[in-house]
Amino acid sequence: SSELTQDPAVSVAMGQTVRITCQGDSLRTYYATWYQQKPRQAPVLVIYGKNNRPSGIPDRFSGSSSGNTASLTITGAQAEDEADYYCNSRDSSGYRLFGGGTKLTVL
């Protein structure tokens, strides 16, 4: 498959842990990168590589991968984490590809 599949929407109670997943055959070969996008803003990189956070990204964000599934975990979700989250990797031909995005609601 040359697609990356994400759940369209996920919700989490404030302070709880939430996992956002991204599925695709290419994830067996390539790492996923994760982006946070708030309304009317450009995306922001939150996780890259095996589990790396850019400077300024809180350590409650972490990444993992198993088989064809990559996951972004937010441990202790905050109100400011409410946003759309996109995974990105490569397809079977090596071209870059985004998942459809997950809208995270913090209750």
Give the residues lining the site for another protein (CB under 8 A): 30-31, 33, 35, 37, 42-45, 48-49, 52, 54, 86, 88, 90, 93, 95-101
DSSP state of 52: B
As a whole number of angstroms, the distance between CA 9 and CA 81 comes to 14
Are 65 and 7 a contacting pair, CB within 8 Å? Answer: no
Kindly tell me which of 15 and 94 has the beta carbon lying closer to another protein: 94
Kindly tell me which of 10 and 45 has the beta carbon lying closer to another protein: 45
In the bound complex, what is the minimum distance in angstroms from residue 83's beta carbon to another protein? Answer: 13
Kindly tell me which of 52 and 76 has the beta carbon lying closer to another protein: 52
As a whole number of angstroms, the distance between CA 77 and CA 14 comes to 5
